[in-house]
Amino acid sequence: MNSGIFRNSIVYLLIILAVAALVFSIFSTPTTSNDLDLTSVAEQIRAGQVKKISIDDDELLIEYRQPSRADARSRKEPGVSLFKTFEQLGVPQDALSQVEFEVIPPSAWSDWGTLAITILPLIIFGGLLFFMVRQAQGSNSQAMSFGKSRARMFTGDKPTVTFDDVAGADEAKQELTEVVEFLREPEKFISLGARIPKGVLMVGPPGCGKTLLAKAVSGEAGVPFFSISGSEVVEMFVGVGASRVRDLFDQAKRNSPCIIFIDEIDAVGRHRGAGLGGSHDEREQTLNQILVEMDGFETDTNVIVIAATNRPDILDPALLRPGRFDRRVVLDRPDWVGRKKILEVHARGKPLAKDVDLEALAKTTIGFSGADLENVINEGAILAARKNKKQITMADLQEAIEKIRLGPERRSRVISEEEKEIVAYHEAGHALVAHMIPEADPVHKVSIIARGGAGGFTMFLPEDDQTLVSESEFKARLAVGLGGRAAEEIMFKDVTTGASGDLESITRMARAMVTRYGMSKKLGPLTFGDKEELIFLGRQLSEQRNYSEEIAEQIDFEVKNLVEEAHQRALQIIRDNLDKLKAIAIRLMEEETLDAEQFAAIFAEEPAGEPGEPSPASSGRAVDAPSGGEDADSPSPAAPPNIAPLPA
């Protein structure tokens, strides 16, 4: 880089010198309006007007006898005597004798200056031409290196990330730890007849630590580590990607044992022949070269390929077979133990207050990825700094979670008292129905403060990380999702657009119950609709109908029945507990936000409860996705995550 700057500086300096020399050569011999030819000078000598003539090589400086008259310049013919020229022009000797002649001796500096003025521009322009040729050669060499690999090589001497910086993915760390041991102590495995794995494919949702784990492998392995992205390989010119892959593996073989990391391999490893208009020659040639390099004729090299993707479904089957990617490491969203470890990693070196409970935070961040948890700590620190605090408190971190889930508070939003009342009863309906149904998640927080696109929200507390959802729990969530609309119907005899997001969520959930989970008694334990992914057609055309129109009508009927049943259930609960609904809504209009203890206190005021009524919710449980309060004046608000995501 420094040599390039130095080279460019020289070029700029030569350009400046060339321009200066050209300007000097133009203006070095000043021209005046008093320049005369020799005939005029001869006439002036005959008239006795000339006092002195100074001869400087071929230049003549003429001084007149009249002091007020300006000097003039003239020029004699080179190589010819000035006196002989005047005789030919008819100037008598007595007139010449009246003029004083002075010959100025030539200066060595003037000769060198004349030479420099003549030669210097040629030298400078020659130098510029030389640098232009060299630059063209450099561009040509860059063009020749177009097919070279752009992978970045790390030696591992100064690791920035190690396995200690990766938490919540113990199984994945174990798999990659063995890869590191393969490279460090190959004899330990070769003595038992084990073969070094050719490749490791890391699969998982975005933000779960795939690239971070690869960086940790780079820091732990102690061998050369080549890192490249899939998009850096593919070019618009056919054959360039394959050339770069060859060059990458050639470099790796020269530095073996080593590791090659390809991030976002789906950019180059897509299924071949899947396009509508035929194949993509460049991508397919690049993929073919990767396949050959990973398991071709030369298979005795200690080069391990690690790749990362969040779209394993679109990768070519030849890339996934044993012998190429022998291991598939899945990095899923962490459970609460993993979330606690991740929070501990990101909380290192940060001034946390004594009231911060990372275990409670881990339980209140169900569904968060590692990147989300890092963002929680960072947003908490930003909120604490905004309030000029010296430490990060639990309240800051709780507010950060709500901000990440729903967006920042919009306390400046001006709404009418009527709209505020509607939002309060809407959120009270969600909370009341959730509290009265045993299968529903406990209420953690209710608020009518606008956040993001929601006019209010209700947060729930699942008992634990949940991978299986029962039919009764689904029906409870449907009823909870319709609690806000049911409250509006009963209290105001009208409905608003505030439930649009709720309706979207429960409709999607009810259809999944019928078509994916077999929870319809009429249709039975069947699934409807193929989920075959059409790679280049997008998600809108990914589901193929494999059932008749008659079955489609039955599906619609069953979905409608589920939603209507949940609606009637929510209406009945609110009618039976109308006093509690009003109490919750009034408290919300007064205080704007109710936490779990304040909400439970409303029901604790009445010792006798209905049969089957759950005990009041307690704080410290995990927060589920927030619920469905929406902007009451928004015709199409964003769908809130008011119900736990459906399991895959």
Tell me which residues are annotated as active site: 427
Specify the DSSP class assigned to residue 201. Answer: E
Dig out the tokens for 87 from the structure.
């005789």
3-state secondary structure of 558: helix
Separation CA 339–CA 357 (nearest Å): 13
The 3-state DSSP composition of the chain as helix, strand, coil percent (nearest 5) reads 50, 10, 40
Q: Which of 359, 368, 323 is nearest to 341 (CA)?
A: 359
Residue 623 has a CB neighbour count (10 Å cut-off) of 24
Measured between alpha carbons, how far is residue 16 from residues 10, 11, 131, 209 in Å?
A: 10, 9, 15, 54
Phi, psi of 480 (to 5 degrees): -65, -40
Q: Which of 234, 366, 324, 320 is nearest to 644 (CA)?
A: 366
CB within 8 Å of 512: residues ≥ 6 apart: 646
Please say whether the beta carbons of 276 and 320 come within 8 A.
no
Separation CA 640–CA 455 (nearest Å): 11
Say if strands 59-64 and 50-56 run parallel, antiparallel, or are unpaired.
Answer: antiparallel
Alpha-carbon torsion (55, 56, 59, 62), positive or negative: negative
Q: First and final CA of the chain: distance in angstroms?
A: 51
Dig out the tokens for 150 from the structure.
């752009």
CB within 8 Å of 393: residues ≥ 6 apart: 353, 355, 356, 384
Separation CA 86–CA 60 (nearest Å): 13
Dig out the tokens for 269 from the structure.
């490893």
Strands in 100-103's sheet, in edge-to-edge order, are 72-75, 59-64, 50-56, 100-103
Dig out the tokens for 536 from the structure.
């280049």
3-state secondary structure of 277: coil
Report the residue count for the chain: 648
Separation CA 267–CA 245 (nearest Å): 14
Please say whether the beta carbons of 21 and 67 come within 8 A.
no
DSSP structure string for 521-544: TTT-S---SB----TTT-GGG--B
